[in-house]
Each structure stands twice: as C-alpha cells, then as structure tokens.
Amino acid sequence: MLIAAVSGCTAGGDAEPPPAPVVYAYEQRESESTPEGVVLVRDDKVVARIPGESPTFTADGKYLVSILPGKIAATDVASGKTYEHLLTFTPPKGCEVSASLVGDAVVLAAPTLRRLKLPELTTVEPVSAQLPPRLPACVVGTVGTDLLVVVRNRQGPQLYRVGADGTTRRLGPDPLAPPIDSGPDIIRFSTTGPPRMAYVTSDGNLAEVVHVLDLDSGQDIVPEFAALGLPDRADTVNVRDVWWSASGTLYATMQSQKSRQEVAAVEQQLWQLNGNAWEPAYAMRWLSVRELPDGRRLIILAEESGDPAVGPGNLFEESPQGLRQIAEAVYEVATPPLTTPPPAQPPALGLVWGPYQEGYQAVEPKQIANGGSPTGAVSDITWQNWGTDRATGTGTGWVEGETVAGGHEEKMTVVAFDLGTCGGRPAYRAVHWYPTSESYDPAHYIDACNGQFH
C-alpha cells in the first residue's frame, strides 16, 4: 500500500520576532544520481540527509521522525542532529511507527502503550488504556489529548479512543476494514474544523475505498465514486495519497480502471471532496500535494515513463512565479501540520497543460505560449486589473497571412476570465487573445486548466 523567512523593527523600536522557518522533508528513492533516504529542508536549504523512510513532523514542527529497519529516528529541525532508538519489538503489519506522534513524544504499543520522549527517544512512562489484551495494536494519531489506537483481531481492525485518564471507547465501524485487508492505510487527520480522520481500506477485489470518520460522533462515510465513472466497487481503484488542506478540504490522488474490460488505466487524477462526493480537481500526473505556510505548494509529479500507482516522481515547488523542480526520484513529501490557512494567493492563469508552454500557472504572465504555432503566443503583456473577475491586457502576437510564415506581428488584447480554482488554487480558467483592431467574441477561448479550445 502506498501512501507516499528578515526581522525588522516596530514603530516603538522593539525588534519583531523572526518568522518561523518554512520546513519540509521528502523521501527519496535511490537512483543513478540520488541516494536513498529522507531529506530535511529548512528555508529552501537542505540541512540534513537521514537514512530511513516515512517522514513525519511533530505538530509544532520542531522534530522530524522517520523509520529505519528495526529503528526509529528523530531529527531536531533547528540543529539537524538525529537521534536513533532501537525497537525491541516488531510493529504490526500496516503500523506506520513514524506516525505515532503525540505532542513531544512518540507513543508505541510495545506491546503495551509507552511514551518515547523526543528527540532522544528515551522511554518516559507507560500509558494507561483499557484495550483488548494480547492483540497487535498501533497508535495512529490524536484528538486533543486523546490517543487513537488501532487494534487488530481476526474479525478485522478496530479503532479505539483513549483518554488521558485511560478511559477507552471504540469508534467507527466494526471492523474498520475487512479482515482480508491489512489496513486501514494512509491515515490523515484534519487540522481545522471538526476532528475527522480520512483513511483507506481495500475490499479484497483491488478496489481501494476512502472513508471519512467523524472522531466525535463516530459517523463514518464513504464518498461517492460516481464522478470517477465507477458505478460499483468491483472496478479497480488505486489510492496513491490522501490529505487535508489547511481550509479543511479533503484531496486524494486516485487511479481507476474497469476490471472487467481490457482497457488501460486512466491517468492519476487529483480529486477533491465536495459534500459526500468526489469531484475532479485536476487531470494530470500529480501524485501528492502539500501546502506550505507561505502559500507555496509542494507537488510530486509522476515520471512520464513511471507507474503513477507505485513509482516515485519528481518534486516541484509551485509559487506565483510557476513551477521549480527541487528533486527527482521522490516517493513521499511531508510538512508540519497547518492549523491556519496559508495567506490568500493571487490567481494564476490556469495550469500548465502541455509541453513547451509559457505563462500558464503564473500570476500576471508577461507572455503566454501554447507550445506550438507562433499564432498561439502573445508577448510583452501589460495587465490592468489582474485579480478581478475579468483581467484584460495588451501585448504583441502573430497574425497568420496566407501561411503562418507569411503573417505579421500585431497588437493584441488579452482577456483572462472565469475566476475560480484549478488544481485546488485560485486561477483564471479561461483565456483569449485577439487583434485589438477586431471585436471580442466571448464564445472563443482556451480552457486554461486543460487546454481545450472553444
């Protein structure tokens, strides 16, 4: 199962505290040019390379935890120093040890619950809980000061909520996943709004299912699959990743294929949960997306020759200036939990939807190129009202004569409109340019999110 800032002075003369560093980590697979392991980045600089996998940050972002064969490692984000702790037990199948973070400690079932103090990972004390005895258990997260523990028995996994005083109650469906499944997997918790847990199970027929569990009421829902074109769960669905945005929206990257027909799987797609149903957010080879507190996003794009269901991809940073590649052969990316939404982003021009393009996915692009004929490009653009419902600008484009080569340059009017979102971020979803000497025809435009011409 796959998962993968300058201080100044105030008016009164007191120095402002420096902003918190922007940190993230990614798990890199071995390739011809990269070693295997976890890379820790602070303020866009690599500060540590750590052996291991499954990187996870504590809620305050002070420590990064990863796992190695028979060990768990904790790295101090400020100093880059890493501490290791030898595990004296084998975690249950499907138990992601590095996700067992509670405050400034890791809580493990070994076999009873015990706290390991970060970053030295020294044992502090046992944790009181009324869990079924002699069964494999795994701490998967917290709700406030309460622990969430998955216990596995022959009927399937069960979820328990353990209070600070040891009070224990079961949550969600019983079992949480079919007995044949080693899940639940890819467990993610919302950081805003009501406490919710998204998790993935498998029905044994290659169909993976995303659940959303309300951790207060215990209500468990399975979002509708209709938008994926899958009328039933006998069809193949692979869930690569699931995550919550800082605004409380659930996203997932999923790949689907009709299991009863000999057809190729569709491309990995980004989906977002709207009410109780999935709706497409972006149809491209996105594997994972994580938000940074300064408004940037980290995106893993599948390699053109790779399998988006299982392979690593290339890690990019998305900013108003466009995409910048950070690393290759990346399997998973992690950021500290965001408890407040990142600052509002100015809209970009759609998304990059083809090779050799310019201007798309950028804010107030100076030039736009579709990546083909010179008639599909406009340069030296000056915008007047970017950020409003309809932005207009002027630039220079190529007008075709009897042939493309026989054309000439001419002043162009550029219109960007249909303000909404593409790929989960603000964007103009339509663009059109035409000779300024001609009149505007609203029926003709390019869908800036997918490149469809109208």
Tens digits of residue pLDDT in 77-132:
998 899 988 877 666 665 666 667 776 778 877 667 888 888 888 877 788 888 88
| Gap between the terminal Cα atoms of the chain | 41
At position 209, the amino acid (one-letter code) is V
Contacts of 46-52 with CB under 8 Å at 24 or more apart are 47/77, 47/80, 48/75, 48/80, 48/82, 50/75, 50/82
Amino acid letter, residue 89: F
Q: Radius of gyration of the chain from Cα atoms? A: 25
Which tokens belong to 130? Answer: 């009324």
Single-letter amino acid code for the residue at 263: V
What secondary structure, in 3-state letters, does 13-53 show? CCECCCCCCCEEEEEECCCCCCCCEEEEEECCEEEEEECCE
3-class DSSP assignment, residue 374: helix
Average the pLDDT over each of 11-25, 117-131, 212-226, 244-258 and give the range with the smallest value: 11-25
Quick one: which H or E segment has residue 244? strand 236-244
Q: How far apart are CA 426 and CA 420, in angstroms?
A: 6
- Alpha-carbon torsion (97, 98, 102, 107), positive or negative: positive
Between CA 315 and CA 318 the distance in angstroms is: 10
What's the burial of 5, exposed, middle or buried (CB within 10 Å: 0-12/13-18/19+)? exposed
**257 has a pLDDT exceeding 80:** no
Is a pLDDT exceeding 50 seen at residue 12?
no
What pLDDT, on a 0 to 100 scale, did the predictor assign at position 123?
A: 72
Higher per-residue pLDDT: 450 or 124: 450
pLDDT in tens, 143-196: 888 888 888 888 888 899 998 888 999 988 888 877 766 667 788 888 777 889
Distance of alpha carbon 436 from alpha carbon 452, whole angstroms? 23
How high is the pLDDT of residue 411? Answer: 95
State residue 45's pLDDT score: 93
- Dump pLDDT digits (tens) for 18-53: 677 899 999 998 776 667 899 999 999 999 998 888
Beta bridge partners of 391: 416
3-state helix, strand, coil in the chain (%, to 5): 0, 50, 50
Task: Tell me the pLDDT tens digit for each residue of 358-371.
Answer: 999 999 999 999 98
In contact, 358 and 374? CB cutoff 8 Å: no
pLDDT of residue 233: 46
d(CA 119, CA 106): 9
**From the CB of residue 14, how many other CB atoms can be counted at a distance below 10 Å?**
8
d(CA 277, CA 309): 22
Higher pLDDT, 244 or 263: 244
pLDDT at position 7: 25
In this prediction, residue 228 carries a pLDDT of 54
More confident residue, 308 or 374: 374
The tokens describing 21, both together, are 């560093």
Q: Between 435 and 270, whose confidence is greater? A: 435
Q: How many CB atoms lie within 10 A of CB 221?
A: 14
Model confidence at 57: pLDDT above 70: yes
> Per-residue pLDDT tens for 268-279?
578 888 888 887
> Quick one: DSSP state of residue 135?
S
Across the range 244-261, mean pLDDT stands at: 73
Round to whole Å and give the CA distance between 375 and 125: 70
